[in-house]
Amino acid sequence: MSEILDDLMEEGIREYNLCSACRFCIGYCPVWDALDRIFFGFKKESVDHRDIEYFAYLCHDCRNCYYACPYRQPHELNINIPKLNSMLREKVNNSYVWPGFMRGMLKRQYMYMTSSIMAFLALAFVLTAIVGDLSALMLPIHSIYHVMPSIYIEMIGSVLGVWGMTLLIYEGARYWKSINGNYKGIFNGRLHLYALRDTFMHLWFRANGEGCDYPGEYGSFSRFYLHLLMFTGMLVDLVATITALYAQNILGYYPPYSLFSFPVMLGIMGGALILVGVVGLLVLKESANSKLIESAWIETDRAMLYLLLAIVVSGFVITSMRSMPFAGLMFLVHISLVATLFVSAPYSKLVHIIYRYLAVVKYYYDKRILSAV
Ligand code: SF4
Ligand code: SF4
């Protein structure tokens, strides 16, 4: 049974049942395909709580169905699917967050992230005083490892990364059980291949080739390209980090690496892609129609973009400040920001990665079940 039982769910059932009678939006996105499947494939007479939760994240917020709808305000039926789904996403996030007392953090992102950055910065100072060299913070440094030995950075980074990832997977598993009723299908490799393909290609950000009605009422691919840049930048930076770890731990080739080395070049390239993507998305959000999104979700969204921006900018500052005074201090700021990203993963906008991905897996799972019948 779904954990989300309230008026919002009832409103979701009302709107989607009306949509199932109208069916005008079929073809805009997979939500409409999935809705049709519920009635004509699974022969249900109404959508239920599970379907509503599933649609919440299957929706990629292209907003085409809102501008196409003759039943939106001022019509008395007042259909607003993008807003409904954004409110439902917030409910989903709150329902599956673990531990439960962290729920409040989803609503206070700026406070949570600022406190986390401060706490990690204080911890970094203490650790530097114990195992590193505090005086190296103000002086030109040859290597960041003069500030803090690499073993501590790697150890803390690994623990926080594994913690964030584990909780994300746990929250995702709870979401899957809720939308699917059981854990069947979640380990099906073929379904994951389809979902990974769609995710990497940003297939559903294109709104079926028409572009999203985002930020305004016209088909645009801006959001698709900007999100793709940010996503690609993150992957490139991940490869840069793995390359640096390989050079250091396997080849014994320690930093500082030259500007033209593989890890640094990749790091700069990834950072530049993220920078363009994040700034572009922030600008787009300024002109987007705020009537189509839950207000709490706007802060959650922006907070994560600002955090990514701060990480990239501090990374660039370190790269350009090499061998200059205060580079060590900037390094502590940078790793505190990255640590905040890791611990924020299960309590921030980043949860959409796992929920949206699993909604896509579910889309293929249902499709497979019906074609097997
Ligand atoms: S959003 Fe409006 S136009 Fe689209 S299916 Fe629903 S009722 Fe019909
Ligand atoms: S906003 Fe776009 S993605 Fe979401 S349900 Fe409507 S058409 Fe589908």
pLDDT in tens, 141-169: 667 777 888 889 889 999 999 999 999 99
In this prediction, what percent of the chain has a pLDDT beyond 90? 71
Torsional class of 143: left (φ above 0), alpha (ψ -120 to 50), beta (otherwise): beta
Q: Quick one: which ligand is closest to 64's CA?
A: 2
Q: How many residues does the chain have?
A: 373
59 close to ligand 1 (CB < 6 Angstrom): no
With a CB cutoff of 8 Å and minimum separation 6, the contacts of 117 are 336, 337, 340
* Mean pLDDT across 217-225: 93
Residue 153 token pair: 């950075």
Q: Which of 62-66, 175-179, 258-262 has the lowest mean pLDDT?
A: 258-262
**Best mutation site among 59, 213, 360 for ligand 2, i.e. most ligand atoms within 8 A of its Cβ?**
59
By the 8 A CB rule, do 304 and 348 touch?
yes
Residue 220's DSSP bridge partners are 212
pLDDT digits (tens, 9 = 90+) for 6-30: 889 999 999 999 999 999 999 899 9
- pLDDT bin (cut points 50, 70, 90) of residue 206 is confident
Better-predicted residue by pLDDT, 22 or 260: 22
pLDDT band at 1 (very low <50, low <70, confident <90, very high): very low
Q: Report d(CA 316, CA 335) in Å as an integer.
A: 13
Q: Which of 15, 54, 64 to mutate to test the pocket of ligand 2 (most atoms within 8 A of CB)?
A: 64
Please report which ligand is nearest the Cα atom of 19: 1
Q: Best mutation site among 53, 61, 88, 289 for ligand 2, i.e. most ligand atoms within 8 A of its Cβ?
A: 61
Residue 266: closest CA among 288, 248, 290, 241: 241
> What's the mean per-residue pLDDT of the chain?
91
- Find out whether 229 and 237 touch, Cβ atoms under 8 Å: no
Q: Where are the domains of the chain?
A: 7-95, 98-366
Is the distance from the beta carbon of residue 29 to the nearest atom of ligand 2 less than 6 Å? yes
